[in-house]
Amino acid sequence: MSTSTNLHLAQAITAPVTNYINRELSWLSFNERVLEEALDQSNPLLERLRFLTIFHTNLDEFFMVRVSGLKQQAAADIEVLSKDGLSPRAQLQKIAERLKPTLALASQCLHHDILPTLREHGIGLYHYEDLSKKDRKMWDEWYAKQVHPILTPLAVGPTQRFPFISNLSLNLAMWVRSASGEQ
């Protein structure tokens, strides 16, 4: 290697932290661009809904991998700084600060824009109580034939090991009481 190459490498290694962009915050910026597509009224409605689901799926993965790793580091009092000079706790704080308005915007997009527009086109989310008797009967039959057979109840108690709860699947937890009120 030439002397100028060595000098360039040495300068890169000792570059100030201001020369770096935080990996987690950069990833959030990327996902915000996905949300921008959901917010863009020039995109077709179902495409906007798809972008919103991609935004949330990305965020799920981000929390499962990146945020969980930072939380483990913070819990273990690991204070190794990222290239941009942030501790795991500081990164978690910045992530929370960044996500609060972003999640509010995503929620507003869904509840005040996409869902009302879908309803205008005859597509909606309905509460069971709001359905007609005929529709309730249809959904009760569908549940009995399609959903109930694939449910796997798991009991959890003081004498049992806690069961494995898989990621990216629907899981329900509930307290069961007897008629006398015992749990």
pLDDT tens for each residue of the chain, 183 residues long: 566 666 565 555 566 767 788 999 999 999 999 999 999 999 999 999 999 999 999 999 999 999 999 999 999 999 899 989 999 999 999 999 999 999 999 999 999 999 999 999 999 988 999 999 999 999 999 999 998 988 888 878 888 888 888 877 778 777 777 888 776
Task: Please report the pLDDT score of residue 4 as a whole number.
Answer: 61
Classify residue 162: in a domain, yes or no: no
Interior angle at CA 100, CA 97 and CA 106, nearest 5: 145
Task: Please report the pLDDT score of residue 157 as a whole number.
Answer: 80
Classify residue 174: in a domain, yes or no: no
When divided into structural domains, the chain yields a total of: 1
The residues near 168 (Cβ < 8 Å, ≥ 6 apart) are 60
Classify residue 169: in a domain, yes or no: no
Classify residue 45: in a domain, yes or no: yes
pTM of the model: 0.74
**Alpha-carbon gap, residue 4 to 39, rounded angstroms:** 48
Classify residue 152: in a domain, yes or no: no
Domain with 120 in it: 3-129
CATH number for the domain including 38?
1.20.58.310
The residues near 9 (Cβ < 8 Å, ≥ 6 apart) are 1
